[in-house]
Amino acid sequence: MRHDGRANDSDKRAWRREILLARNRLTADDVRDAATALADRALGLPELAHARTVAAYVSVGSEPGTLALLDALRAGGTRVLLPALLPDNDLDWGAYTGQDSLTRVRHGGRMALLEPAGERLGPDAVTGADAVLLPGLAVDSRGMRLGRGGGSYDRVLARLERAGAHPALVVLLYDTEVVERVPEEPHDRPVHAVVTPSGVRRFG
């Protein structure tokens, strides 16, 4: 894999494959312990601790766990929005009101996702968030994020830009997924912070 930051599809696919293989080697205990640490670290981030509304997502499988953080944010009075995947890969949003407000949805042959079961608020609801948690596979020393390749969050970031909205952009990762350089494309935008079980790193 090239490490000079120039991207092509095969570069990104190779990175994704390598990181997903490493995640799949984690045990359930590893994932649970990391999720607890991630929630503690993330709540220490003023951009999240003081946010009125956070747009987030529900982790699945061996992704860095988000549920403990979602519950802690909600307990602290923060409004939490969660995505629902639309047929064109865009995201609608709904409010998170606890784990019993989630429903498991399978989209084609993909892994089933946990989505909000209640009222849909529309794709533009994300523009009212004070902070947005973005899923990712890696972040580099410049804050450039490697996503999973579906394009849904590229649309979210473009929507925020069109609306003139400037929420804090935060990624939750495992420690080994903060790297020197990931491949990037011209439309990629840096995030403001990455949270890992061992700490927080800010960019720019």
Q: What is the pLDDT of the chain when averaged over all its residues? A: 91
Residue type, 99: Q
From residue 16, how far is each of 12, 67, 88, 91, 151 by CA, in Å? Answer: 6, 23, 22, 22, 14
pLDDT-based confidence at 2, cuts 50/70/90? very low
pLDDT in tens, 139-159: 999 999 998 878 899 999 999
Please state, in angstroms and rounded to a whole number, the distance separating the CA atoms of residues 47 and 25: 32
Pairing of strands 145-146, 138-139: antiparallel
User: Whole-structure pTM over 0.85, yes or no?
Assistant: yes
Please state, in angstroms and rounded to a whole number, the distance separating the CA atoms of residues 173 and 171: 6
Please state, in angstroms and rounded to a whole number, the distance separating the CA atoms of residues 88 and 198: 36
- CATH fold, domain 9-202, is Rossmann fold (3.40.50)
pLDDT in tens, 51-61: 999 999 999 89
In the chain, where the domains are located: 9-202
The owner of tokens 């969050």 is 153
pLDDT-based confidence at 175, cuts 50/70/90? very high
pLDDT above 90: percentage of residues in the chain? 77
Instruction: Transcribe 149-161 into DSSP letters.
Output: SS-HHHHHHHHHH
Q: Measured between alpha carbons, how far apart are the two ends of the chain, in Å? A: 26
